[in-house]
Structure 1
Amino acid sequence: MNIFRLAGDMTHLFSVLVLLLKIYATKSCSGISLKTQELYALVFIMRYLDLFIDFISVYNTVMKLVFIGSSLAIVWCMRRHRMVMRTYDKDLDTFRHFFLVLAALVLALLVHEKFTILEILWAFSIYLEAVAILPQLVLLQRSGNVDNLAGQYVFFLGAYRAFYILNWIYRYYMEPHFTRWIACVSGLVQTALYADFFYYYFISWKNNAKLKLPA
């Protein structure tokens, strides 16, 4: 564990807490893409199947359970909670996310580090996570105005990926046998997807104005 990975984990956790706060405190999921949340739930389930066969540390196990549990709870609220589901922007959340799942699966079957079920599912989760934010970004772009909590949620998700890039750079120089190049390349792609959002986020922060994304 290094400081960059810890910072990444904490910003990731904070993004989830911000989203849960928005949903449970305001009873609203306006501005949040259900399709992105479904993709994240699939990402965490597929990536953390090793919970049943490989114990690394208490911290590692707890974080895995938190991300699986929270992602499933968010999807359940957006689909089943009577008050929350009424606020879902269904007409704006029309990104065909099944194509992302199919593309990630095909890529995982073709490009992986080891031809085993767990390694292919791990690669699938990495590829899918790299593009899982796309439905959310498209929804925010279509809605124009972004509420404060939704904007903070996306910002902390982007910060999490940025910290993980620093983590991989650190590990590349400090761990001679570090070879997770699939995660590195996918992480760079994912972080690049946030570039436009970050630009407008900092502009709104600098001007103390409401976040607006161009349509």
Structure 2
Amino acid sequence: MNIFRFAGDMTHLISVLVLLLKIYATKSCSGISLKTQELYAMVFLARYLDLFTDFVSLYNTVMKIVFVASSLAIVWCMRRHPVVRRSYDKELDTFRHYFLVASCFGVALLVNEKFTLVEIFWAFSIYLEAVAILPQLVLLQRSGNVDNLTGQYVFFLGAYRALYILNWIYRYFTEDHFDRWISCVSGLVQTCLYADFFYYYFISWKNNAKLQLPA
């Protein structure tokens, strides 16, 4: 594992911890898209079908369990927790995310590296992860003001994917065999979706001001 992959994993983990901190410390999920969290839960469940059949390393297994468990816990809190669910911005979180699910699954059936159940669900998870942030970005744009923890969550989530791009570049030049082109293309699309958010995040950081997104 190279430093870019490890840094990406840790940044991804930090994004999850920031979101859990926001929910459990403030007892609020205001500004968080349930649609995006449900999409990420589907991403991890589809990607890690091999969790109990293929053992790569203890690190790999632990990270898979953490991401699956945390994503399901967040969805449960936003839907079922008696206090947290009251703060959910249902009126703003109206993105029709099931269209993303259907579209990504259709593409996975047509464009995959091997036509097997595991590989199709893996490709589906990659395509879905690339666009899973869309409901969250739309919600933030509609609400305008973004609280610090929500802004940090989205920032670290985007930074994780940017670091993974560096990981792929590094692997391309150092490994003899590297054929996960689906991940690379989807990762570039995903990173581009964060570009507007990154711009306003750095502007607010530079000016020491509260993050605001244009409606």
Q: TM-score range by the shorter chain?
A: over 0.9
CA–CA distance in structure 2, aligned partners of residues 115 and 85 of structure 1: 40
- Answering whether residue 36 of structure 2 is matched by residue 36 of structure 1, we say yes
Verify: 1:114 aligned to 2:114, yes or no: yes
Measured against aligned partners, the alpha-carbon deviations of 1:61-100 in whole angstroms (never above 9, x if no partner) come to 0000000000000000000001000000000000000000
The TM-score, its normalising length taken from structure 2, stands at 1.00
Aligned counterparts of 1:15 and 1:27: Cα–Cα separation in 2: 17
Runs of 4+, deviation exceeding 2 Å: none
Aligned to 1:103: 103
Alignment of 1:116-131 (within 5 A): 116-131=116-131
The answer on 1:68 being equivalent to 2:68 is yes
Letter in 2 for 1:67: F
What is aligned with 2:22? 22
Cα distance in 2 for partners of 1:173, 1:65 equals: 31
In the TM superposition, what is the alpha-carbon distance from 1:176 to its structure 2 partner?
Answer: 1.4
User: What are the ranges of 5 or more consecutive residues in structure 1 without an aligned counterpart?
Assistant: none
Gaps of 5+ in 2: none
In 1, Cα distance between equivalents of 2:106 and 2:18: 33
Q: Aligned partners of 2:51, 2:83: CA distance in 1, in Å?
A: 34
Provide the residue aligned with 1:166 in structure 2. 166
Aligned AA for 2:145?
N
Q: Determine the C-alpha separation between the residues in 2 that align with 1:71 and 1:49.
A: 15
Matched residue, 1:51: 51
- Count of matched residue pairs: 215
Deviations 1:174-214 (A, max 9, x none): 11111000000000000000000000000000000000000
Q: Could you say what secondary structure the match of 1:129 adopts?
A: helix
CA deviation after TM superposition for structure 1 residue 52, in Å: 1.8
Does the alignment pair 1:89 with 2:89? yes
State the partner residue of 1:144.
144
SS in 2 for 1:208: coil
The match for 1:206 is: 206
Q: Are 1:185 and 2:185 counterparts?
A: yes
2:148 counterpart letter in structure 1: N
2-structure distance, mates of 1:117, 1:105: 12
Distance in 1 (CA, whole Å) between partners of 2:116 and 2:62 is 25
Distance 2:97 2:59 in 1: 32
- Structure 1 residue 53: Cα displacement: 1.1
TM superposition score normalised by structure 1: 1.00
Instruction: Give the Cα separation in 1 of the matches to 2:174 and 2:43.
Output: 28
Rounded Cα–Cα distance in structure 2 between residues aligned with 1:13 and 1:52? 21
Aligned residues with identical type, % of pairs: 83
Q: Say which SS state the counterpart of residue 9 (structure 1) adopts.
A: helix
Distance 1:151 1:144 in 2: 12
Query: For 1:98-123, what per-residue CA distance to the aligned partner results, in whole angstroms no more than 9, with x for missing partners?
Result: 00000100000000000110000000
